[in-house]
Amino acid sequence: MLRVAEHVERTDTGRQRRMNEDSYVARSPLFVIADGMGGAQAGEVASQTAAAVFDRGLPPGAGSVEERLAGAVQEANEQIHGLSLSSDELAGMGTTLTAAYVGEHDVTVVHVGDSRGYRWRDGALERLTTDHSLVEELVRQGRLEPEEAEDHPQRSIITRALGPEAVVQPDSHTFPARDGDVFLLCSDGLTDMVGEAVVAGVLAGAGTLQEAARGLIGRANDAGGRDNITVILFRLEEVLPADAAAQGTDDDATRAGAAALRAEDVRRALEESGSDPGRAGSDPGAVTAPRTGPVERRTPIARRQTASPARRRRRRLRLGMGWIVAACFLGVVALGGYLASQTVYFVGSDADGFVSIYRGVPYELPAGLSLYHRDYVSGVSAVQLTPQQRRTIVEHRLRSRRDSDELVRQLELGTLSGH
Ligand code: MN
C-alpha cells in the first residue's frame, strides 16, 4: 500500500501583494490549498475558513473518499457563504480549494476554482485538474487557443469558488498512484507566472522536494510574483501494510491552524467594535462624499516687536496655546476626513492597469499622503474595456462597497452595458 514518504509546503506573498490570502493544510495524508479573494482581509478569512474545515482531516462517514471530501467542501462553502452575508466587510468573498487525499492505492483530488493539482511521474508532468476559469472555458469552447490562455489578461477570473453561492459543485477524481509519484498542489500565483514547461524543468532539476518548492516559488517571483504563491509537494512510496500502520499522523503542519486570524475572531471583532456590519455602505444612494476642501491653516504669526521679558514670556505662552488649539483643530479635521474616507469606495485602475476597488476618496495630500488604498484587484485589464466602460473607471465616482463590487463584477463577467 501507499504512504506519504515526505511532503513539503511553502507559501510566499509574492512581489506585488501586501498580504498573503492563500492558506494551506498539510495533514498527511490530506493536503489542501485555498486561494482566497475579496476586499480588505476577506480573502484571507475565506481561505482560512476553508482550511479550518479540512484541518480536521478526512471527514468520517460511510461514503467514498470523494463523497466525504465533497461533503467537507460543501460545509466550508456554507460557512464562507454565511460569513459573507453577515457583514459588508466580508461580502462577496470566496476561495478556491484543491484537496488531495492519499488512499491505499490511489490519490483523490477534489477542487473548485483554479488552484491546480499535478502528478510528476517518470520525468513527465501531468495536470490533474481543470481550472474553473473564464479562460479555460473559452479554451474548452474552442474560442481560445491553449497557448493564448497562458498569458491572457483575464486568466485570474474564476467561474466557480467557495463562498459566492449557497451551493457549490466541486470536481472530484481518483487517480491510481504508485511508488515514486510526486504530487504538486499549487495556487495560481505559480501557474499564472510560469508555464508548465518551467514547472517540469524545476522538478526535473531539483535534488529534493524542499529544493523543488523553493525553486518553483523563486521562478514565479523572478517572473514578476504578481500574486501569492503556494506550493505543496508530496512523494509517495509503496510499503507493507504493517509499516504503514506504524506511521503516525502527527506530522501536521497547518498554516491555517496556526494563523491568528480566524473567521470567528473577525466576526467577534466586528461585533465588539460596535460597527454595524449590515449598515455600512449598504445603500448605494446614501453615500455622501466626505468634505475634503482645503483646510485653512490658522497659524499664529509672531510679530516682531520689542517687548519686556515678562510680556514676551506671556506672548510665548499664548503662542504655545495657539499652536495647541491649531493642532487639535487640524487633528479633528484630519481624523474626520480619514474616518469619512474609510466608508466610501471608488473604482479605478491600479499601476499595472488592472481594474481595482479603492477604499477612501480619490485625493492625495501633499507629502505623498493618499486618502485611499487599494482593496481589491480584479483580473480585468483596463485596456480591454470599451471606451464607455473605461469611463466608469476614470470618473472615480464615490460608491458603496456593494456598488463597487457589483460594478467590478459586471466588468469581470463582461455584462456591463451603460452604467
Ligand atoms: Mn491567487
Please tell me whether residue 184 adopts helix, strand or coil conformation. strand
Query: Which residues line ion ligand 1, judged by CB < 5 Å?
Result: 35, 187-189, 227
Give distance in angstroms: CA of 35 to centre of ligand 1.
Answer: 5
Give distance in angstroms: CA of 156 to centre of ligand 1.
Answer: 7
Out of 6-10, 243-247, 261-265, give the one with best mean pLDDT.
6-10
Whether residue 386 has pLDDT greater than 70: yes
User: Which range is least confidently modeled, 60-74, 331-345, 371-385, 398-412?
Assistant: 331-345
Give distance in angstroms: CA of 242 to centre of ligand 1.
Answer: 40
Whether residue 151 has pLDDT greater than 90: no
Whether residue 7 has pLDDT greater than 90: yes
Give distance in angstroms: CA of 417 to centre of ligand 1.
Answer: 28
Give distance in angstroms: CA of 96 to centre of ligand 1.
Answer: 9
Q: How far apart are CA 376 and CA 399, in angstroms?
A: 14
Give distance in angstroms: CA of 232 to centre of ligand 1.
Answer: 15
The pLDDT value recorded for residue 256 is: 44
Share of the chain above pLDDT 90, in %: 50
Domain closes at, from 238, 264, 289: 238
Neighbours of 314 (CB within 10 A): 12
CATH number for position 23: 3.60.40.10
Whether residue 260 has pLDDT greater than 80: no
The pLDDT value recorded for residue 309 is: 59
Please name the helix (run of DSSP H) or strand (run of DSSP E) that holds residue 101, with its range, or none.
strand 97-102
Whether residue 264 has pLDDT greater than 50: no
Give distance in angstroms: CA of 175 to centre of ligand 1.
Answer: 25
Of residues 319 and 149, the one with the higher pLDDT is: 149
The pLDDT value recorded for residue 384 is: 72
Which tens digit of pLDDT belongs to each residue from 118-141? 999 999 999 999 999 988 888 888
183: amino acid identity, one letter: F
> What are the cell numbers at 70?
465533497
Shared-domain flag, residues 63 and 42: yes
- The pLDDT mean for the chain works out to 81
Domain closes at, from 238, 273, 298: 238
Shared-domain flag, residues 206 and 224: yes
Q: Using the 8-state DSSP alphabet, how is residue 411 labeled?
A: H
Shared-domain flag, residues 90 and 191: yes
Give distance in angstroms: CA of 216 to centre of ligand 1.
Answer: 15
> What are the cell numbers at 264?
470567528
Shared-domain flag, residues 272 and 408: yes
Shared-domain flag, residues 19 and 35: yes
Give distance in angstroms: CA of 21 to centre of ligand 1.
Answer: 8
Q: What does residue 155 show for φ and ψ, rounded to 5 degrees?
A: -70, -15
Give distance in angstroms: CA of 361 to centre of ligand 1.
Answer: 27
For 411, what's the count of Cα atoms within 13 Å in the CB-facing half-sphere? 32
Shared-domain flag, residues 234 and 248: no
Shared-domain flag, residues 217 and 310: no
Give distance in angstroms: CA of 43 to centre of ligand 1.
Answer: 10
Give distance in angstroms: CA of 20 to centre of ligand 1.
Answer: 9
Give distance in angstroms: CA of 164 to centre of ligand 1.
Answer: 16
Shared-domain flag, residues 221 and 254: no
Closest-CA residue to 106 (of 33, 181, 25, 31): 181
Give distance in angstroms: CA of 99 to centre of ligand 1.
Answer: 16
Give distance in angstroms: CA of 228 to centre of ligand 1.
Answer: 6
Please tell me whether residue 159 adopts helix, strand or coil conformation. coil
Give distance in angstroms: CA of 32 to centre of ligand 1.
Answer: 14
Whether residue 284 has pLDDT greater than 50: no
Whether residue 30 has pLDDT greater than 80: yes
Contacts of 300 (CB under 8 A, 6+ apart): 319, 322, 323, 326
The pLDDT value recorded for residue 221 is: 98
The pLDDT value recorded for residue 11 is: 98
> What are the cell numbers at 276?
454595524
Shared-domain flag, residues 139 and 230: yes
**174 touches 65 (CB < 8 A):** yes
Q: What does residue 235 show for φ and ψ, rounded to 5 degrees?
A: -110, 135
Give distance in angstroms: CA of 322 to centre of ligand 1.
Answer: 52
Give distance in angstroms: CA of 152 to centre of ligand 1.
Answer: 15
Give distance in angstroms: CA of 188 to centre of ligand 1.
Answer: 5
pLDDT, average across residues 26-36: 97
Give distance in angstroms: CA of 394 to centre of ligand 1.
Answer: 26
Shared-domain flag, residues 234 and 250: no
Give distance in angstroms: CA of 98 to centre of ligand 1.
Answer: 12
pLDDT band, very low/low/confident/very high, at 399 (cuts 50, 70, 90): confident
Domain closes at, from 203, 221, 238: 238
Give distance in angstroms: CA of 223 to centre of ligand 1.
Answer: 15
Shared-domain flag, residues 28 and 169: yes
Q: How far apart are CA 411 and CA 32, in angstroms?
A: 31
101: amino acid identity, one letter: Y
Shared-domain flag, residues 392 and 270: yes
Whether residue 262 has pLDDT greater than 70: no
**253 touches 26 (CB < 8 A):** yes
The pLDDT value recorded for residue 315 is: 63
Whether residue 18 has pLDDT greater than 80: yes
Give, in order, the Cα–Cα distances in Å from 21 to each of 182, 229, 248, 300.
Answer: 25, 10, 30, 49
Whether residue 408 has pLDDT greater than 80: yes
Give distance in angstroms: CA of 187 to centre of ligand 1.
Answer: 6
Whether residue 117 has pLDDT greater than 90: yes
Give distance in angstroms: CA of 60 to centre of ligand 1.
Answer: 30
The tally of domains found in the chain comes to 2
Residue-number span of the structural domain to which 337 is assigned: 244-419
Give distance in angstroms: CA of 69 to centre of ligand 1.
Answer: 22
Q: How far apart are CA 331 and CA 107, in angstroms?
A: 60
Closest-CA residue to 339 (of 297, 291, 401): 291
Out of 201-215, 236-250, 393-407, give the one with best mean pLDDT.
201-215
